[in-house]
Chain A
Amino acid sequence: MWRGNKMSQTMGINWIGLYTMVRREASRMARIPIQAFIAPWISALLFIFIFGSVVGGRISQIGGHRYLEFVLPGVLMLNIVNAAFIQASTAIYFSRFIKFVEEMLVAPLSYVEMIIGSLSVVVLRATVTGIGILLMGIGFGATHIESWPMFLFWIVSVSTVFGLLGLIVGLWSKSFEQLNMPVVFLLTPLSMVGGVFNTIEMLPAKLQWLAYANPFFYFINGIRGAMIGFDEAPQGLGIGLTLGLLAVLGVTAWRLYAIGYGLRE
């Protein structure tokens, strides 16, 4: 007689399946601790050293804050963006490349569950990366937190935005070369000119609109406001932009999963 597996569902959600996706990716992350956590933490330490001791002393205060205090939130945001994008894009691409994505396709998991499972690990990795950098900053007296809820909002929302973008790119990519293209041509340039190292008023007047048109500016401005209470644009604008991006990218990712783009033959 068939006993049948008793699939545990509450509110129609396969919670165990979701949790398994998190466990699985966490186990993959545990296999690459240097790439996942040590590298961004060392990079942040170097930023603290360079901007704290070497360059920082020669630059006047910005908005009443030491230069290192001003820069560190941007450095933290860069690492969150990188962690989120790389986690999402490589996980989905690798699973497609080796074909073990089929394990999820043949299982009773909905597309929304697949996306949420992937994003949960993205947020976990980005949060651990961000909190690690924050603790280093606090340890070196380089930063503090003005608003914990807003700090967590920016980490979770921005990592989800770039997690969704990473999923879309991971589905689209047909080679490791393509997987890296958005990092090289989009994320790095936009993040570097998004106000990590300078205020908008430091830019030539004719170029200031470029910063306002750059979404990274709002992410960095948001987390800087949450950390040291310094901002150059209304927080509400950044929050609205982030929620809008979440909606657009979320619907796009869901649609791609639903039609099996890059997943099913």
Chain B
Amino acid sequence: MTPALSISHLRKVYRSGTVAVEDLSLTIPEGEFFGFLGPNGAGKSTTIHCITGVAEPSSGKIEIFGIDAVKNYREARRLVGLCPQEFNVDPFANARQIVDWMGGYFGMGARERKERIDYLIERFDLIPHQKKQFRELSGGLKRRVVLARALINDPKLIILDEPTAGVDVELRRVLWRYLTEINKDGRTILLTSHYLEEVERLCRHVAIVSKGRVVREGTKDEIAGSPGGLENAYLIATGAEPDHVAGQ
């Protein structure tokens, strides 16, 4: 079966000379809920940028459902939805416009777009806020808009780069429920998060990245099942000192 995402020896060196991703390989089967963990600067966001076309890989190969994400980028992008870490949104546009324009870029017709936007706006409790300019929204509402935008094209592969950073408990639970539901429906999800309890709750498979390489990968049960749980496994894999060592 063709994997949803296959990354082979990805390397990304920025123009400044900074090596953001050293040599990263990863395979995510279709239908997986995949946790992509690592400290700040480990190369998670850069890897996501390379998958989605925001950054150009220096070398290596990325395939999305078997389609080369660089050579056949248009076909590959059609299958992906990205919720980025930063709010990369026109602050003067309203919530509905932002989601609508994204649907338009994906070639969705007016009727299909309207149905999908109505659904997402309702699903993320944005009805009273849909005509407000993005800059007028609170942090949590902004996050909802960006999530709705990522899902407008009903993507097969959903990439969420710290989607719950800075959001309240209510939205976090709304989002968890929704992600669980669409994952059951067959969507593949790649999630980065610094909240390990979130990863433990949602993901079935985990990869830990450090200094631009995957340093540990396995099922959540394998990794979280080791002494000290996921947090200890994470700290050991990334070269930090686990509590029981630091406390000695």
The chain A residues found within 8 Å of chain B, CB to CB, are: 1-9, 14-17, 19-21, 23-24, 27-28, 31, 95, 98-110, 259-260, 264-265
Contact = CB atoms under 8 A, between A and B. Distances in A.
Nearest to B15: A265
- The residue in A6, A9, A98, A108 that gathers the most chain B C-beta atoms within 10 A of its C-beta is A108
Interface in B147-167: 149, 153-154, 156
A14 B107 contact: yes
B26 interface: no
B185 A100 contact: no
A265 B105 contact: no
Interface stretch (B32-40, B79-87, B219-227, B230-238): B79-87
Interface string B105-141: 1111100100000000000000000000000000000
A26 B107 CA distance: 18
Contacts of A101: 88
A5 B80 CA distance: 11
B64 to A, nearest CB: 12
A19 B101 CA distance: 10
A99 B46 CA distance: 15
Nearest to A104: B105
Q: What band does the interface of chain B fall in when counting residues whose beta carbon is under 8 Å from A?
A: 35 or more
Nearest to B53: A105
Consensus secondary structure, chain B interface: loop
- The residue in B88, B92, B103, B105 that gathers the most chain A C-beta atoms within 10 A of its C-beta is B105
A127 B56 CA distance: 36
A108 B77 contact: yes
B240 interface: no
A7 B78 contact: yes
Interface of B: 14, 46, 49, 52-56, 73-75, 77-78, 80, 82, 84, 86, 88-93, 97, 101-109, 112, 149, 153-154, 156, 185-187
A17 B156 contact: no
A109 B49 CA distance: 16
B77 A106 contact: yes
Given A98-B88, A106-B80, A108-B74, A2 B102 contact: no
B104 to A, nearest CB: 3
Given A107-B105, A108-B106, A1 B186 contact: yes
Given A28-B92, A106-B53, A259-B56, 13 more contacts: A6-B112, A16-B109, A17-B105, A20-B104, A23-B104, A27-B97, A100-B90, A105-B54, A106-B54, A106-B77, A107-B77, A108-B78, A265-B14
B75 A5 contact: no
Nearest to B100: A20
Nearest to B187: A2
A264 B54 contact: yes
Contact of B108 (A7, A27, A98, A265): A7
A109 to B, nearest CB: 6
Given A98-B91, A108-B77, A5 B108 contact: yes
A14 B78 CA distance: 11
A16 B104 CA distance: 6
A103 B101 contact: yes
Contacts of B89: 98, 100, 103
Contact of A23 (B46, B101, B112, B156): B101
A108 B152 CA distance: 13
Contacts of A103: 88-89, 101-102, 105, 149
Given A100-B90, A264-B56, A4 B154 contact: yes
A260 B112 CA distance: 31
Nearest to A117: B105
24 contacts: A1-B185, A2-B156, A2-B185, A3-B154, A4-B154, A7-B106, A14-B74, A20-B101, A20-B105, A23-B101, A24-B101, A98-B88, A99-B86, A99-B88, A100-B89, A103-B88, A104-B105, A106-B53, A106-B80, A108-B106, A109-B105, A260-B56, A265-B55, A265-B56
A17 B82 CA distance: 17
Given A260-B56, A264-B55, A5 B102 contact: no
B11 to A, nearest CB: 14
Contacts of B86: 99
A3 B91 CA distance: 31
